[in-house]
Chain A
Amino acid sequence: MKPRNPARLMQRGPELIAPAGLRLIAGSLLAAVLLSLLPWPRAGLWLVPEFPLMVLLYWNTHEPRRTPLRLAFGLGLLADVGHGVLFGIHALAYLAASFLALMVQRRLANFGPYGQALQLAPIFLGMKLLIVLLGLAMTQGVADWRQLAGGLVAALLWLPMCLLLNRLAGRPDEPPSPGS
């Protein structure tokens, strides 16, 4: 059940973009997971964004059919083990972010990387906030509110990541002009 044909064939004109291959999607997600597993210096840990989530949201925006919610769930579980926290904390945060991005996917796809970064910033921030709050609720620790900065870093890094993945996917940086 690959939903590539009917909808695509109906479109005409220069903005017809070939769908990204599964290998590119899987490869970029794998690279993001590896990036998140790097030994980041302890002092700057709070600045490190959730790389897998950034790549996931990129594909949510551009290939919503190929990135179902269960992908967010799986990546979140992986992040939970990588971070050494309770199962489900990152999974829930990833799910929520992916869900919101899919809900506004139509809107996001009509913006360039800058506009997307602006609109995704609240999602990244809210997701970090959710992680901190869930951690507070489940472990009764003290919250490190600096963690929220990681969400802003994710929004800042959205731009270079978009440009890179656009090149790899053979996709123009600006969205197709509306009204065609």
Chain B
Amino acid sequence: MSRAPHSPLFAREMGLPARFTLYTLLCLALMAVDARYNALAFLRLGIATVLHPIQNGLTRPFLYLDDALEFFTVHGAMLRENRELKEAQIAAKTDTQTLSSLRMENAELRALLGLERPSGYTSRAAEIIRVLPDPFNRQVLLDRGTRHGIEAGLPVADAQGLVGQVTRVFPLGSEVTLLTSRGQAAPVQALRTGLRLIVSGLGQDRMLEVRFLDMHADLQAGDVLVTSGLDGIYPPGIPVARVLNVQPPKDTPFARAVCEPISQVGAHRHVMVLRRDREQP
């Protein structure tokens, strides 16, 4: 019988199936250790530190190409946008006027109640350089890391609303888990009624849900949900989702509301990482 080309040249070497079994066990151990104990962060950090500059370099040409294409955006689209913006500005102006009066009133009321002013947050802009291809988690890679003061756990928002939370940081980059990924949740409050809820991701791009909603809760399609700030992680008042419909309870004692996230992760390249000011207690 002729020797298979992959069989060891010397008897001291292990055969292919034996080596495969050993490596498989090693892989399973790695998975268990990484899933349960987070003990391999240093290894991931090391590899990621090498990979991220490469990824960044690979992404740049495409970003420049995007910019160049954007430059040639149709004139009409710009005009339309301009008109819409003007209208929005007029609407906003009237809003601002009421807002300033409301703000004064609010400050007075707060002083009256002796409550603490909600602590301030500073925001740090970051650019999305890559969408991570993991089908189980919705994650994006930002170009800012521990070097720029990013920490794991910080909330991330874009100009419209809440995007998600930083889950892993590296020196020159960080991974953000989007609110739409399954298992992510944020405490929110309905703007209209002040009802406190928890909105959670479904693992789909443009969909969130409120599970275990009280059958008689006053929640309607079109209601806007903003963060309540009760968890101490997300600052209060960031728009999160708009209710699409409320489904009455079927087999369970609870109703369920399907919502649409307000943030536009797919449309923008820049997000803000929010960071609580240090001087606040």
Which B residues lie within 8 Å of A138 (CB)? Answer: 31, 35
- State whether A37 and B54 are in contact (beta carbons under 8 Å apart), knowing that A91-B30, A134-B31 are contacts in the complex: yes
CA distance A17 to B24 in the complex (A): 34
Are A82's CB and B134's CB within 8 A?
no
Contacts of B6 in A (CB 8 A): 64-65, 102-103, 105
Asked if A86 contacts B35 (CB within 8 A), the reply is yes
Number of A residues near B (Cβ < 8 Å) is 51
- What residues of A have a CB within 8 angstroms of the CB of B31 in the complex? 86-89, 92, 134, 138
Cβ-defined partner of B135 (8 Å) among A39, A96, A132: A132
A86–B23 alpha-carbon span in the complex (Å): 16
CB distance from B8 to the nearest CB of A (A): 10
Q: Which residues of B contact A (CB under 8 A)?
A: 4-6, 9, 16-17, 19-20, 23-24, 26-31, 33-35, 40, 43-44, 47-48, 51, 54-55, 58-59, 62, 129-137, 139, 141, 168, 175, 181-183, 203, 266
Q: Residue among A37, A69, A77, A87 with the most chain B CB within 10 A?
A: A87
Neighbouring B residues of A38 by C-beta, 8 Å: 58-59, 62
Question: Which residues from A are CB-within-8-Å of B51?
Answer: 37, 78, 81-82
A28 within 8 A of B: no
User: Which residues of A, 78-104, contact B by the 8 Å Cβ criterion?
Assistant: 78, 81-89, 91-92, 95-96, 99, 102-103
A81 to B46, CA, bound (A): 10
Q: Which of B47, B130, B135 contacts A77 (CB 8 A)?
A: B47
Instruction: List, in ascending order, chain A residues with CB within 8 A of B129's CB.
Output: 39
Which B residue sits closest to A34, measured CB to CB?
Answer: B58
Name the distance in Å between B152's Cβ and chain A's nearest Cβ.
14
List 9 contacting pairs A-B, 8 Å CB cutoff, sorted by A: A1-B9, A38-B58, A69-B16, A73-B23, A82-B55, A86-B31, A99-B20, A105-B6, A143-B135
Instruction: Mark A residues whose CB is within 8 Å of B.
Output: 1, 3, 34, 37-40, 42, 45-46, 48, 64-65, 68-70, 72-73, 76-78, 81-89, 91-92, 95-96, 99, 102-103, 105-106, 132, 134-136, 138-144, 147
Top 5 A-B pairs, shortest CB-CB distance: A141-B136, A88-B30, A144-B135, A88-B31, A92-B27
Q: Taking A84-B168, A87-B44, A147-B135 as given, write out 20 further A-B residue pairs in contact, using a Cβ cutoff of 8 Å, ordered by the A residue number.
A: A38-B58, A42-B131, A64-B5, A69-B23, A84-B139, A84-B175, A86-B35, A87-B33, A87-B34, A88-B26, A88-B27, A88-B28, A99-B16, A99-B17, A105-B4, A135-B134, A135-B136, A141-B135, A141-B181, A141-B182
Find chain B residues with CB under 8 A from A3 CB: 9
